[in-house]
Structure 1
Amino acid sequence: MDVKLLEAFRAVVDNRSVTAAAQAMGVTQPAVSGQIAKLEESVGFPLFERAAGGRLKPTPEGMLFYAEATRVLGEVDRLTATTAQIREGQSGRLVIASHPAAAISLLPALVADFVAQRPGVSVRMISRHSDVVSALLPTEGYDLGIAELPVDETDVRLVRYQMRCVAILPPRHALAGRKLLTPALLSGQPMVAPARSPQMLNRVYGTFAAANAQINAVVEAEFFASCCALVAAGTGWSLVDPLSARSFASMGLVTRPFEPAVVYEIGVFHRRDREPSVLAAAFLELLDSKLGSPR
């Protein structure tokens, strides 16, 4: 049944005349009369009868039909509103799978900002190791993935981001007064090593070896968050991404630039065989604004 006919019928009942209904709808009186006649032909019974003064009065059948028509039009209005929300990225659910460093230091502020601007949107965050995040994607368990590189690009569209790592020290460390830290300065100093990140370990060890400096890893921790907490507790120094260092700055960490540069890389990805949803695309833009230009 044509929704426009139902809208015309509702307008006539609410305004009690074709003329007033036409004015309310912004159309001509003959147009409304024609719509009512067409609707009566469609339903097979009269919807109105003439009352005193020439005003229209709904028939008993017309009032029953009005109740149902009003309910249906309410559903249509809600569907129209929901459609607009989906189209504009204001409704729906976004699932993001990420490695722990991103789940702790990158995503919370971004997700909070994202949902604050979209009251009709919900977000689910899944935290797994990078290799698990990559393996989960074919199951379609999430919309966006964030993981340390390398990531198998066979089935995904990948955007790479680089961050220059920073050295973190306990508050009273002997080198806390230095403005720049190097392998030579940190040689032999107790270190908290990021054990779960092969790319980080290889680059750090390679950098120290090139400088003929010694790494003294007294603790190995899987997560950057653990590295930060251990450093804050006085265990030793560490090298972490700048987002993690910023997230745990309140613990009293001393953060310093490190030379030569050790780059930490992550990948943001989604399925190659389909475009990201409106919500996913909006979050990718927000993520890009946080991480800067991709590599």
Structure 2
Amino acid sequence: MDYRLLEAFRAVIDAGSVTQAAGALGLTQPAVSAQIARLEAEVGFSLFERSGNRVRPTTEALVFREEVERTLAKINDLSRVAEQIRTGEMGALTIVSHPMAGVTLLPPVVAAFGKARPETRVELSVRNSDMVRSLFPSRTYDIGIAEASVDPAGLTLTRYRMACRAILPKGHALAAHEVLTPALLSGVPFVSMSRQWAAHHLVEKVFAAADAHLNIVATSELFAAICMMVAHGLGVSIVDAASAAQFEGLGLEVRPFAPAVLYEVAVFHSADRVPSAIARNFLDLLDAHMGTFLSPVEQP
């Protein structure tokens, strides 16, 4: 049934006149009369009794109107929902991330995104980088975030690079230095990323180049855990800028580190599938958030 016939029916009941209903709908009187005739043919009963220029709904029409109102309300709701989906205001978004981004980078972005779009649902999963990459052929996830060493085949990928920061417990003697170096941290108890993460090897490389002793006393797979161990006085460390900024207020001294240790992350989605409007909106928000401490280094 053409919903425009239902709109014409409602307009005629509300106006009590085909001519006035036509004016409200922006149609001619014959056009509205034809629509009412079509609707009567479809439903199989008379809708109006004519009396001069006025019309009066039949008993059947009054019963029918209740259903028409519900139906048109549902159509209006569908139009609103379709518009929200089209503009990225409604829908579902699935993200899988390696721990660094999942714990530090993404939570404030997901929170801001969700508050601005209460009709959306975001699911965030945290896996190691290799697993993040392996999940994408399944099309289960909209967006992936991992260490930048991921194989880019079949992905549309943006790489971000940040200069890492040295972190110390509050009141540590080395906090007197404006910039920390491998020589200054040589032999100092150091809390390191686990060897399976790229950050460990980046730090190990700059210490070796400076002939400095990397005195590892503890390791973790999470920058967040490292920050908390340092805040509790276990040692010093070098972490990404986002983690340093997030945990600085919990008992850390944060200083630049030289030479630069550049940690990269990759944000990607499947190349053979156009991101939804909601995914594009999230990627824009994430890009703006990363801009506070990151710079894009590659965006094929």
TM class by shorter chain equals: over 0.9
Partner of 2:48: 48
The question of 1:38 aligning with 2:38 is answered yes
Matches within 5 A, 1:200-215: 200-215=199-214
Matches within 5 A, 1:175-254: 175-195=174-194, 198-254=197-253
SS of 2:33's equivalent? helix
What TM-score, normalized by structure 2, do the two folds share?
0.93
What TM-score, normalized by structure 1, do the two folds share?
0.94
**CA deviation map 1:2-36 (0-9, x unaligned):** 11111101111122221332232233333222221
Aligned partner letter, 1:279? I
Partner of 2:92: 93
Q: Which structure 1 residue ranges, 5 or more long, are not aligned?
A: none
Aligned partner letter, 2:38? K
SS of 2:41's equivalent? helix
Comparing 121-130 with 190-199, which one deviates more in the overlay?
A: 190-199
* Overall identity of the aligned pairs, in %: 52
Measure how far apart 1:71 and its partner are. 2.1
Mapped contact 2:226–2:237 kept (Cα < 8 A)? yes
Measure how far apart 1:197 and its partner are. 5.0
Partner of 2:63: 64
Mapped contact 2:197–2:221 kept (Cα < 8 A)? no
CA RMSD for the aligned pairs?
1.6
Mapped contact 1:165–1:241 kept (Cα < 8 A)? yes
Partner of 1:138: 137
The question of 1:18 aligning with 2:35 is answered no
Distance 1:268 1:131 in 2: 14
SS of 1:124's equivalent? strand
Distance 1:244 1:223 in 2: 10
Comparing 57-66 with 158-167, which one deviates more in the overlay?
A: 57-66
Partner of 1:158: 157
Measure how far apart 1:190 and its partner are. 0.6
Mapped contact 1:196–1:221 kept (Cα < 8 A)? no
Comparing 145-154 with 222-231, which one deviates more in the overlay?
A: 145-154
- Describe the shift of the 1:111–1:196 C-alpha distance in structure 2 as closer, same or farther (beyond 3 A): farther
Partner of 2:296: 294
The question of 1:273 aligning with 2:272 is answered yes
SS of 1:248's equivalent? helix
Partner of 1:2: 2
Q: Which structure 2 residue ranges, 5 or more long, are not aligned?
A: none
Distance 1:196 1:212 in 2: 20
Mapped contact 1:232–1:253 kept (Cα < 8 A)? yes
Mapped contact 1:196–1:223 kept (Cα < 8 A)? no
Comparing 41-50 with 104-113, which one deviates more in the overlay?
A: 41-50
Mapped contact 2:195–2:201 kept (Cα < 8 A)? no
**CA deviation map 1:117-136 (0-9, x unaligned):** 21211111111222221222
Partner of 1:75: 74
Measure how far apart 1:238 and its partner are. 0.4
Comparing 224-233 with 269-278, which one deviates more in the overlay?
A: 269-278
- Which runs of structure 1 show a deviation greater than 6 angstroms over 4 or more consecutive aligned residues? none
